[in-house]
Amino acid sequence: MNLRLSAVALVAATAIGPTPLPAADYHHVHLTATDAAAAVRWYTEHMGCEDVGREDACSIGNVWIIFFEREPSAGSVGSGVDHIGFSYEDLDAKMAGWQAAGVTILNEVRDIPGLFKLAFIEDPWGTKIEAVEDHEDLGFHHIHLSTPDPEGTLAWYQDVFGGEADQMKGRLNGVRFGRVWLLASLARDGDPEPTQGRSLDHLGFGFPDLDAAAVEIKAKGVDFVMEPRDYTTPAGVEIRISFVLGPDGVFIEVVQPAS
């Protein structure tokens, strides 16, 4: 009887399958600038980022902005990640401050009915930034991909990293990772270029157990450009990191942050 019950339990457990991994957290965006410390100061002064005790990084909410110190090969536009987005309580006031400070303005503030106010600026190293006034989601707001297949690309990110398929304000399809949106628009100027080496070098997702996540990610047919390994940050913090390549040449770091 005990053996029979054990066999039944084993069949039931096999049918249920292993407990799925939790969805990834959106962890960081890694930018490129000729002077990392100057870039940290710029994002702290103009974008509302906060000091994290590193000369090459700052944060906004739970999202880190990290900088490689070198000359970017090109700006973000034209790659698989067109721009990143930040949300503010009063966009008109932010725009006035940017104009007074000489920040590069790509598009002035405009109000999109049923969505929110938005504008576009550019950092000094070529990364396009959308600024929005979304009172439901302040801080680091979104990543906007450029791809020949927006629906398929969003499905890939949700399959690999989890997240929740949703519609922003009931209008824009996206995938949510906590409070960060991943959006995608149709590339209009041919196939996007790879991100690596440009002003926006790569995206970063975090799992609490990178090795377990790597097994599951590989099972989905995704190859690792760099297998998980230990890494000591410039601040002396021990983490684990790895890299994969996403659709349209988007370079993606998958990390296990310090516990």
Helix, strand, coil content of the chain in percent (nearest 5): 25, 40, 35
Strand arrangement, sheet containing 180-186: 104-111, 117-122, 128-133, 81-87, 139-147, 180-186, 172-177, 164-168
**pLDDT given for residue 5 in this prediction:** 29
**Per-residue pLDDT reduced to its tens digit, 123-155:** 999 999 999 999 999 999 999 999 999 999 999
pLDDT of residue 11: 32
CA dihedral 34→37→41→47, nearest 10 degrees, is: 60
Q: Where are the beta strands (DSSP E) in 41-116?
A: 50-51, 57-60, 63-69, 81-87, 104-111
Tokens 């070198």 correspond to what residue? Answer: 70
Give the pLDDT score at 157.
98
pLDDT recorded at residue 19: 52
The one-letter code for the residue type at 35 is D
Q: For 181-226, what is each residue's pLDDT tens digit?
A: 999 999 988 899 999 999 999 999 999 999 999 999 999 999 999 9
Measured N-to-C along each axis, helices 91-101 and 36-47 cross at an angle, to the nearest 10 degrees, of 140
Residue 179 has a pLDDT of: 93
**213 is written with which tokens?**
């996540």
What was the pLDDT predicted at 1?
32
Helices (H) and strands (E) in the chain, counts: 5, 16
Q: To the nearest whole number, what is the mean pLDDT of the chain?
A: 91
SS3 of 248, please?
Answer: helix
Q: Which domains does the chain have, with CATH numbers?
A: 25-208 (3.10.180.10)
Q: Which amino acid is it at 213? A: A
pLDDT tens, 104-119? 999 999 999 999 999 9
